[in-house]
Structure 1
Amino acid sequence: MSNNKKTLWRHTAQFQLTRQFSLLLGAVMLFFNVMFIVLSIGFLYERIEDQTDNVFEAIEKGHAATSGWSSLIDAYVSADEENALRVQQPDGTVYVSQEGQEVFSALAAGKITPLLEGVVFSEEGVYFSKSESINGDQVTVAMNAEASVELAYGLLWISSLLNLAAVVIGSLLIYWRVGKWSRKLTLMASEITAIESGGQGELTVVDEPVEIQSVAVSFNQLLKDQRETIAREKQFIADASHELRTPLAAIRGHVQLIQRRSEAHPEIIPSSLAFIDKESKRLEGLSNQLLDMDRQQVKRQTATLNVGQLIREICEKQAIVSPQTIDYTIDEPLLMQGVKTDFQQIAQNLLENAAKYSPDDGMIHVRFCQQGSQVCLIVADQGIGIPDDKKERIFDRFYRVEYSRSSEIAGSGIGLALVKQIADQYHATITVADNQVQGSVFTVFFPLSKE
């Protein structure tokens, strides 16, 4: 493996997770080994202490039945286990078991363990020494602990080997298991690269682990939203180009007409200028609407407003300029938190849209009221109506239903898009339904603040 590949491999999730797991598992095993050593030493210490106490009990019972130590002292210890017994009487007489003198001499020169009372390391081995007074005689027992120490060492080695095997096997298993997840991440990265270069496709959604599945699902949803946004932007550019090109071409045509024929036919100048003025106003209105949409992206200062009063004022103004009859029912006061111009634009655009597509002798009904935890603005007209398959698209910028593109119906397709954009900022929802017997009903549901 080259140095670059080796360095790259060391930075992979598979290697990093395996190393972390191995270190954690090793630390846990070390902790349990230490605990095993402590518990084993404690168990063996209690065991040899119990053996020593049993010897003292036997000596006490045996001494009560006999009058001397010389004939019985070797009976209490086992020479095979190299145990030793020493008895010192008040008159200075000392009795020592067979080979006991060597043991006690070695213990006198040995090292005492501070934490384990009575344990002595000597040239003769490891011993546990304890003294008691029996019928006035000082009795000292030295129990050989070599067998217990060897047992502890053996168990420690076995435990260490098993723990080492567990760390190695566990590391291999985790390396293999993480490798499966790592391959899924690698596949995901490859698919993202392919999507970036080709612009098509989506990530494969795996069943497990859940985290990778969630990332894939979220990425695919983000990708879908991005593609839809790009498609809308392309449609926006196409529609905007169309909407701008038409009046500009007409204005340019009339300007050229005036340049070519105004001297010979001056009567065409007033009509051409009137047309130019009309189309320039149309361009101005379109520009203002686009600016209004752009201003919605800027955070503005909000205040507590009597929205019912604002909508009443809009209805009164619209009733003056619209040929239709505007019937409105406003519940006041209905206070809401927001920006004054936002509510004015929503009401104004909905009313202008209703008037635009309604007959001159028709009626427009406006209702503003509270329904439960929502405030509703309802605008119903008796116009030409909207097909069901178009009701969602009418909120797209520059979108207009085919029959509404007639030059007889003014408009740019921005008004309803602006209404939708403002409503989204207030977490409001808009529904479009058919009016009876004819026309459309627009309803904006504003959630009331919980404050």
Structure 2
Amino acid sequence: MPIIKVRGVKMKRKTPQMTTTSQEIQHSFRVLFIWFAFLMSLAVVGVVGVQLVHQRQAESIELLGSLKRSIIDDRPDWEQWRKNSTINTQNTYVKVNDRTRNIPTKFYSHGTKTFLKAKQIHLPFFRALTYVDGYGFMYYRSGSKLGIMSQIWLSLNPVVNVLLSVIIVVFSLFLLSLLFGWYFISSTAKRLTQPISQLSQTARDQSKSELEYETLLPVPKSPMEVKQLTTSFNELLTSINYKNQQEKTFISNAAHELRTPIAAIRGHIQLVQRHGRDHPEIVDRSIQFINNESARMQTLVNDLLALSRADRGDVKLDYIDLTSLLNETVEEQRAVLKQTINVNIPTKTVVYANADNVQQILSALLDNAGKYSPADSQITVALSQHGSQYSLSVQNTGPSIPDNQKDQIFERFYRGDQAHNHQVSGTGLGLSIVKQLAELNHIQITVTDLKPQGSRFNLLFNNPENQN
């Protein structure tokens, strides 16, 4: 944990605590649920409270109206009103001040005089609401008619009691909903993130095992995102495993190809050391053998380096003159190959590729044709156009390639039966390099048979139109 010095005092800096996806989901939904439940509870209590207050307000208006209707011949019939009124004298108080007489007269309902003697506190923002000591909150309303002033105080205690009951019920439901929601959100979050957790755990277990990506991860049926992620991850594992196996095979074959000439060279060196003085004739033969094997090793190393560069995939493409490149490469191979090379190409052809790669591909195909064709045969290089595409073919009259080997010939260190039977020299990497370079240059390569015998390697340049 990092340590911070503050005025000579060492303080430990708190490392931010990592949270899981499940915890993040639970936290977000809990906060949202609490706010939603709180606002809903507040709304219910508010609506009920407002409705109850409006009800008391309507009662006060009706009561005040009945007092006004009791005025007959400009005189309030107080006694008659009191007999016919259904007011609850325990929570409603009425005072009538008749100022139309020579001597003002005041009428009080039962308990009103005692009520008015109590201490009253007027609320500053709600003039109609008053708190009376010993009576609680009261709703006040007044009105006058023909000089007769009527005042009414209605107790809000029933409203407060109902409102408290509503608050208790709503709060209880809020707590129950909170507990249920807490459990539901937690279980839902764990259920949604369980496939991800299992995927992560399985990946960690496989990273510690020695299976080397051979075991695929279990694919859940839901949710769809995790299913797609697992499927993509398995495809990645399959690709890694395939490349890993290729690398193992490649290293094993490369070691074998290098081990064979090295062992042979060491054998001839030991032969010369032991018997060179007594049998001088074996020295020249051994030196020639060592020279041939060392040249073969040099070719193998060069091919391995070329294949390594091709594997890196760092290729710059550009528009190149394919015709000039073909003519130059063919002239170089004519000086090496015994076969006759016939060329059938247009005067100028422009394609989008890497010049060095294309020259290396053509050289490898011509070298391969020279190895498997009779010395007095012909090798044909032809270039034709099909719309915006150009097809380059290299054909020979050597043995045809069986259909079941047409894909295998591009594998690293693969050498067919014809190569072994006729002791054809080579490293088995030439066509692998051709395949890799063709893919880097977006060139399609195929192999077809010729009649009565022979093979044709076709390169299809699928390029955009030349922009000049």
Do the aligned residues in 2 keep the contact of 1:77 with 1:83 (CA within 8 Å)?
A: no
Alignment partner, residue 33 of structure 2: 25
Q: Give a deviation string over 1:413-448, Cα, whole Å, max 9, x none.
A: 222222333344455554444455541434345464
Q: Which moved more, 1:181-190 or 1:348-357?
A: 181-190
1:275 to 2:285 alignment = no
3-state DSSP of counterpart to 1:110: strand
Matched, 1:208 2:222: yes
Equivalent residue number for residue 166 of structure 1? 177
1:48 maps onto 2:60 in alignment:
no
In 2 relative to 1, CA 165–263 (structure 1 residues): closer, same or farther, beyond 3 Å?
same
Q: Which amino acid aligns with 1:226?
A: I
What is the CA distance between 1:291 and its match in structure 2? Answer: 1.6
Distance of aligned partners of 1:393 and 1:122 in 2 relative to their CA distance in 1, 3 Å threshold = farther
- In the superposition, relative to structure 1, how do residues 206 and 135 fare at CA in structure 2: closer, same or farther (>3 Å)? same
TM-score, length of structure 1 as denominator length: 0.79
Change (3 A) 1:185 1:304: closer
CA distance in 2, matches of 1:364, 1:293: 26
1:89-128 correspondence runs (5 A): 94-103=106-115, 106=118, 109-112=120-123, 114=125, 118-123=128-133, 124-128=135-139
Contact 1:398 1:412 in 2 (8 A): yes
Alignment RMSD: 4.0
Question: Secondary structure at 2:404's aligned position in 1?
Answer: helix
Alpha-carbon spacing, 1:21–1:197, altered in 2? closer, same or farther (3 Å): same
1:82 aligns with 91
Shift of 1:358: 3.5
Question: Match of 2:47?
Answer: 39
Count residues with an aligned counterpart.
438
Q: Distance in 2 between matches of 1:139 and 1:224?
A: 93
1:302 is aligned with what amino acid? K
Distance 2:86 2:160 in 1: 19
- Show structure 1 runs of 5+ residues with no match: 1-9
Mark the runs of 5 or more structure 2 residues left unpaired by the alignment.
1-17
1:240: how far off?
Answer: 0.8
Q: Secondary structure at the match of 2:137?
A: strand
| Pairing partner for 1:389 from 390, 399, 404 | 404
Matched residues in 2 for 1:191 and 1:423: separation?
35
Letter in 1 for 2:159: S
Provide the C-alpha distance between the structure 2 equivalents of 1:386 and 1:407, rounded to a whole number of angstroms.
15
- What do the CA deviations read for 1:285-337 (whole angstroms, capped 9, x no partner)? 2212222233345575736332524345434543554424343435855353x
Identity of aligned residues (%): 25
Q: Is the 8 A contact 1:88 1:95 kept in 2?
A: yes
What CA distance in whole angstroms lies between the structure 2 residues aligned with 1:15 and 1:268? 81
Q: Which amino acid counterpart does residue 205 of structure 1 have in structure 2?
A: V
Does structure 1 retain, via aligned residues, the 8 Å contact 2:365–2:431?
yes
> What's the CA shift for 1:391?
3.1
- Paired position in structure 1 for 2:76: 68
Partner deviation per Cα, 1:248-301 (whole Å, 9 max, x = no partner): 233334444444555555555555434333322221122122222333455757
2:295 is paired with a residue whose SS is: helix
Deviations 1:220-269 (CA, angstroms, capped at 9, x unpaired): 33333333223222211221122212322333344444445555555555
Residue 414 (structure 2) aligned to one of 399, 402, 406? 399
Distance 1:63 1:371 in 2: 110
